[in-house]
Amino acid sequence: MFKIGDFKKRAPKRNPLSYKGKNGRVLVIAGSIDFHGAAIFAGWGALNSGADLITMVVPECNFEVTRHFAPDFIVRKYPGEYLTSRAQELIINLAKKADVVIIGPGLGDKPETMRAIKFIVEHLNITTILDASAIQVLELLDKMPLNQQLVITPHHAEFEKLTGKPFKINDLADHKVRVIRTLANDLKINILLKSPEADIIAGDEGQIEQNETGNAGMTVGGSGDVLAGVVAGLIGQGLTPFDACSCAAYILGKAGDNLQKVKGFAYTASDLAQEIPYIVKEILE
């Protein structure tokens, strides 16, 4: 089980002589007409975990709200209300200057969007995090493993849809571990399964970890987007995908536990994102 000491050992170590961009350049591909907040939540997760530069790529219908929400983000837009092939060239070019990319929060699952995600993923050379509906693109890929390291961050329903097999919240932990470990090893991917009892993290080399921080308040909309952002931010700062998933699950769960003490279960994804830097500082001091 992941403990506070594990985070202290694996936490990013910042070079005092580093300069802008050396501590993580994160590219976020997220949002649609229906879910304008998803990109913002993912961006806050990455930024508040310590990454230097966050570039957001959103449909033009989200552009103004994303740009005005925070001056900390670099925001680029593409035509339309959701991701299509019109955005492919822009995203692939921007990825050349990034260390890690998140694809999926709030994108939706329109056929055009899934085809665009497939094309983009197959043409990337940096660590790629698939979240939300983008996880299902694994079924469409022509080959596995890909050239780049891959992370998926499903909840139970998304994992069940991906595998096509029953996979319930109340399944025995040993069964969950076997299923997740096998899939991660076979596909050579990293998996962070979000779960109410214990998050399960499986690495592409057979590693397994579980995290028990967090509480029922984390069912709030947007919390998964924040988590994907934290994973990306930690990878951008040099952690392996497996260590980043383990540390991110622990950090966000601790943020939820702290918030529950003062706000009960009535906290938001924005609250979680804002709590992250204080959690990290508290742990490392």
pLDDT tens digits along 90-106 = 999 999 999 999 999 99
Query: Would you place residue 182 in the very low, low, confident or very high pLDDT band (cuts 50, 70, 90)?
Result: very high
Q: Say if 233 falls within a structural domain.
A: yes
pTM, two decimal places: 0.96
At 21, list the tokens. Answer: 């961009």
User: What is the distance between the alpha carbons of residues 168 and 131, in angstroms, rounded to a whole number?
Assistant: 19
Do the domain assignments include residue 15? no
Task: Tokens 């993290």: give the residue.
Answer: 201
**pLDDT for 188-215, tens place per residue?**
999 999 988 889 999 999 999 999 999 9
Instruction: Name beta bridge partners: 193.
Output: 200
* 11 is a domain residue: no
Q: What's 177's domain CATH number? A: 3.40.1190.20
Write out pLDDT tens, residues 228-268: 999 999 999 999 999 999 999 999 999 999 999 999 999 99
pLDDT of residue 170: 65
Indicate if the pLDDT at residue 169 is higher than 90. no
Burial class (CB within 10 angstroms; exposed 0-12, middle 13-18, buried 19+) of 65: middle
In a domain, 223, yes or no: yes
Is residue 107, in this structure, part of any structural domain at all? yes
Domain that holds residue 168: 21-284
Instruction: Count the domains in the chain.
Output: 1
In this predicted model, which residue has the larger pLDDT, 11 or 254?
254
Tell me if 3 is assigned to some domain. Answer: no
The answer to whether position 1 is within a domain reads no
The answer to the question of residue 52 being in a domain is yes
